[in-house]
Structure 1
Amino acid sequence: MAGRPVRSVLARLLGVRRPEHSWQAGARGEELVAGQLARLGPSWTVLHSVPVGSRGSDIDHVVLGPAGVFTLNSKHHRDARIRVDGDRIWVNGQYQHHVRNSRHEAMRAARLLSAAVGFPVPVQGVVVPVGAAALDVRRQPADVQVVNRARVRRWLAGRPPVWSAEQLAAVVQAARRPATWLG
């Protein structure tokens, strides 16, 4: 135990990434996005770290409101340069599978919520970069949105309404049931 802080400092000085570093950065990114979502207002419901299936998967944030259902995938890339061109996202020149993963989460959530309420529930996947030095969106993906953390609340609140109060209440009730997400 006494050697851990020394290794941590040494790893930081040498630029070595420890396994827990990635997890901690991801958790911090999720917290920052959650702070934005907390300001959406009473007509919105936000669920955080929603466990899906039985293999340890989760969705960072499920956001439900008058404008629909959104699955948010927080991606903490501190001081990175991010470029988005359709389905492709590069972080510091390295291709990342963020769009593919976000699309998969949204489709899975749509399937599970639709089955739980008995009517179609479209879900929009959203990739939310956190901490980037630059975000250059040349072209949005066709079915996933990329919105930086500072703008995500305004982006969601600016979407046009698509649900009646009754539909939204049914979807929120289903989303809050853990059994909904087991499929």
Structure 2
Amino acid sequence: MRSSVTDSITMRERFAAQSVIEELLHCQESRPPRSFLGRLFGASPLCPESEPWYRGAKGELAVASLLTGLPHEWTVFHALPVGSGGYGINHLVVGPGGVFTINTRHYSGQEVWVAGHTMLISGRGTNDIRNAELEASRVGAMLRERMPMLPPVQPVIALVGAKHVIVRARPRKVRVIEAGDLVSWLTNLVVVMNESELDLLVDILDEPSTWQAAPVVVHPEVWDKFAVLDHEVRSARFLRAGWTLAGMLALVGASVSVLPLLLQSMAGGLLP
């Protein structure tokens, strides 16, 4: 999604997963419409390149929904553009307990294993911990130019949908946590920032100029297009599940109808 809109907005107006959704819709531009039969049988409207972006968006939206449970003294920013590609920090949370960059990882149904600086997803290595450290370090260096006494920015990896999470040894700098435990963990931290410090920090974070020179805008049509696409994806999944169930029931029905004939045939073979 590319727009000619140039009016800057405050960063708190950016919605959760905005950057990821923009990339998702950009990928979908080359996807031809599904045929009638494709829609009827539940073919996915997503192209293969869009699948990771869609999962990422759903994960970020799930975490954003949980973060609405934070008390009023906490402030949450979403989809902060820090990289040249226009996407970067999933969520940045500021409150009495400090400053946190939250990287959402949607690992639905997968095993997550953590030991120090190593993180495996169903046995596959990832750079999640290293990337989270770099993200927090970059934000901390940027903010300390304005607030030299700012506490260290803590990187967090919030796991969405993981089947099992095993932490053998906690990473030294990164907190790896299941998304459902995030709000409780944040609100029980020791207070390290007072109200005046928080007000100043939020004002700094809210300025688009803090993040990048290019205009930071919200495209009103982006969310509407994503809502339509999300509905199509969920409807397609429902249809595929329905057809699978219908096939299983048909198979069972055929078995039930054939079984008496089979038993009769077997009985006939046993009679003298």
Q: Give the TM-score taking structure 2 as reference length.
A: 0.62
User: What do residues 60-119 of structure 1 show as CA deviations (whole Å, max 9, x unaligned)?
Assistant: 000000000000000001100000101111000000111001001100110111123344
Aligned pair 1:129/2:166, yes or no? no
Aligned pair 1:180/2:216, yes or no? no
Q: CA RMSD in A?
A: 2.3
Distance in structure 1 (CA, Å) of the matches to 2:194 and 2:66 = 25
Which letter maps to 1:75?
R
Maintained 8 Å contact 1:117/1:174 = no
Maintained 8 Å contact 1:81/1:91 = yes
Alignment map for 1:83-98 (pairs within 5 Å): 83-98=113-128
Maintained 8 Å contact 1:102/1:125 = yes
Aligned pair 1:148/2:154, yes or no? no
Secondary structure at the counterpart of residue 52 of structure 1: coil
Deviation at 1:18, TM superposition (A): 1.1
Identity %: 33
Distance in structure 1 (CA, Å) of the matches to 2:128 and 2:63 = 16
User: What do residues 5-44 of structure 1 show as CA deviations (whole Å, max 9, x unaligned)?
Assistant: 83995679xxxx8111100000000011011111001010
Change over 3 Å in CA distance of 1:121–1:112 after alignment to 2: farther
Secondary structure at the counterpart of residue 89 of structure 1: strand
Distance in structure 2 (CA, Å) of the matches to 1:102 and 1:4 = 42
Deviation at 1:182, TM superposition (A): 2.2
Task: Select the structure that is richer in strand.
Answer: 1
Alignment map for 1:55-66 (pairs within 5 Å): 55-66=85-96
Change over 3 Å in CA distance of 1:95–1:42 after alignment to 2: same
Aligned pair 1:111/2:141, yes or no? yes
Query: Unaligned 5+ residue runs, structure 1?
Result: none
Q: Which of 55, 59, 63 is the matching residue for 1:25?
A: 55
State the aligned residue count.
180
Please identify, of 79-88 and 120-129, the stretch whose mean Cα deviation from structure 2 is larger: 120-129
Which letter maps to 1:148?
E
Q: Which of 46, 69, 76 is the matching residue for 1:46?
A: 76
